[in-house]
Chains A and B, each alone.
Chain A
Amino acid sequence: MAAYLIRRIWQMVPTLFGVILLVFLLFKAFGGDPAEILAGQNATQAQVDAIRQQLGLNESLWVQFGIFLKQIATFDWGKSWATNEAVSHLFASRMPATLTVMIPILILDTLLAIPFAMGVAYVRGSLTDRTIMVATTVALSISFLVYVIVGQYLFAFQLGLFPVQGWSDSVWTNLRVYVPLPALLSVMVGLAPQTRLYRSFFLDEIGHDYVRTARAKGMTERTVLLKHVLRNALIPILTNVAVALPSIFVGSFLIEVFFSIPGLGRELWLAVNRSDYPVIQAFAVYIAVITMVVNLLTDILYKLVDPRVVLK
């Protein structure tokens, strides 16, 4: 186990280096000149040159890459160009809002989709099954944006069940007042693809020999599904959740922008709009690190869930 961990962490190094290189080169090659963006449109040449000197833009590409690496290693990205807020502070203060919205969404999505998919898999091939499959295809073809626009209009503006948008400082108030509507809409949208996917996992398992054996032993379909199939189908479901896990740190951009939730996604959106390069670069690198760590943790989790898995 220890050897496995060390090797996995060792393997992260080249990938992380690649991510840093990609982000660095992307902004160097295609991005605008940082000095000109920072100085604004009315700056004199002297001011631009001064900023250039300050940022080290006159150095060679290698030295600049060195500066970039140092920033990452020391967690010191300087300040946001737009708001002058320290990037590390930005990251730390926006993360809680994103997690407050995204964790309930992920949990509800998974917990609701499993019984749904199981129900559909139970009546597989029947008219109900086909109807639900067609309905999910149609539901999937409508843009997420439409659900959010119509949902906000209907539930918040017309019926007044929820506030249209907003956020507060207290986590509890947020969860009780402001999270329900975005969460409800996200889950409604996420349920259709999730149900389809989990249904196929269940159907995969139902085709196995052990299910036939269980039935031959005279077990009820209920026991077979709940005791045998569910446990085995949980493995691909877990994989699926794990794949979705890193993205909860970025949040759903659309949800955060639409409902004015001060999370990471919205902050990043603002940064892209303002050409705030340090913020975008820092987010890309740190989110990549988080993604890699989460993936490693999931692989270890497999071992706990399924003893057959051998970590190599």
Chain B
Amino acid sequence: MSSVLVSPQLTPSMSRSKGVWAAAATRFKTDRVGMASLVVVVLFLLIVLAAGLGLVAKDWQTERGVPDAPPTFMGPASATEGVVIAAPSGPNVDISAIDPLAPRYKEWAEAAKKYQTTEAAKALTLPFGGDRLGRDVLSKAVKGAQVSILVGVSAAVIATAIGTLLGAFAGFFGGRIGDFLEWVYNVFTAIPNILLIFAFAAVFQHRGVVSVVLILGLAGWTGIYRLVRAEFIKHAGRDYVRSAEAIGASSSSRMFRHILPNVSHVVLVQLSVNVVGFIKSEVILSYLGFGVGVDQVSWGTMLSEAQSELILGHWWQLAAATLLMAVFVTAFSLMTDALRDALDPKLRGLE
């Protein structure tokens, strides 16, 4: 924290106690559940990165299979016997004499030849089935993971940034600024969260990832504001902060260089709590039609498509999206719990 101290890398003395982050890392490593969930989360993040770079699931929009192609392990769908209308048996009547379009048929046939349509062979089954258009459900789920996780993380970062900044100002300065920010907080909490989300959705008419992130971030900062404000009030009067003031540290320096590192564990834990919440909210928003655009796929849009598919017995899209989401959210929640235990040992065993 202070440049007077010699950094621990230079003097690796055994007597020196570990820093708060190193100690937390040690505690985290002993938590087997936490480590296992960390591995799963990192795997998911690698998939997101790969999907973002276009290494996997790049062609998720290609219609590779027949519509509603079942998963490979189930075998192709049994052919349904459609009622075929019998072809007329009489001779064709020549109406070219009275057909007003007749003179142009040749011209159109020529024009049509310029466009080549390649009818790719549609697979009867896909590894984990296909959707209504025959798109591969697995690549959709991977691409959906990218969008959903990106939305969850970005919205959480925005909400955390707003909450931390406002909370820091309110807690550190108090007085007029504190009162004003408390008023803003009261206003935002007076409206139920889902209603606030709807109000934002009503004014951000453009549907897409950016607007979902903004809606969730702007409506979801109040929880973290409350916590950060309480921490800043607690820390603002402590000796180390007053010492910093005595040696001439400015307000912003005291707030963000002295206090913030000491409360950053609260911020970090809240950030990851929010990620899980926002991923779930994105699913609901997408179902209600306020989510990502139609040319994108997320777990939410997959689930909303799944409702009508399930009636027809096509369960694979529902299963794929649910499974990926459940695994990620469970791992992330367990990781958050382990993180909180590691960063704030006082809380251990409360839950």
Mark A residues whose CB is within 8 Å of B. Answer: 14-16, 18-19, 21-23, 26-27, 30-32, 137-138, 140-146, 149-150, 153, 157, 196, 200, 203-204, 246-247, 250, 253-254, 257, 268-269, 271-273, 275, 277, 280, 283-284, 287-288, 291-292
Contact = CB atoms under 8 A, between A and B. Distances in A.
A150 B317 CA distance: 13
Given A143-B325, A272-B202, A283-B195, 5 more contacts: A15-B186, A137-B330, A146-B318, A146-B322, A257-B288
B306 to A, nearest CB: 6
Contact of A200 (B187, B191, B288, B350): B350
B310 A150 contact: yes
B199 A26 contact: yes
Contacts of B200: 26
Contacts of A280: 198-199, 202
Given A32-B205, A250-B194, A287-B195, A144 B183 contact: no
B190 A288 contact: yes
A16 B191 CA distance: 10
A38 to B, nearest CB: 15
A271 to B, nearest CB: 7
A149 B310 contact: yes
Interface in B268-300: 276, 280, 283-284, 287-290, 299-300
A291 B194 CA distance: 13
Interface of B: 183-184, 186-188, 190-192, 194-196, 198-205, 276, 280, 283-284, 287-290, 299-300, 303-304, 306-307, 310-311, 318, 322, 325-330, 333-334, 350-351
Contacts of B328: 141
A138 B330 contact: yes
Given A30-B204, A273-B289, A268 B195 contact: yes
6 contacts: A15-B183, A18-B186, A19-B190, A26-B203, A250-B194, A271-B202
A287 B194 CA distance: 11
Contacts of B184: 18
A120 B337 CA distance: 20
A150 B192 contact: no
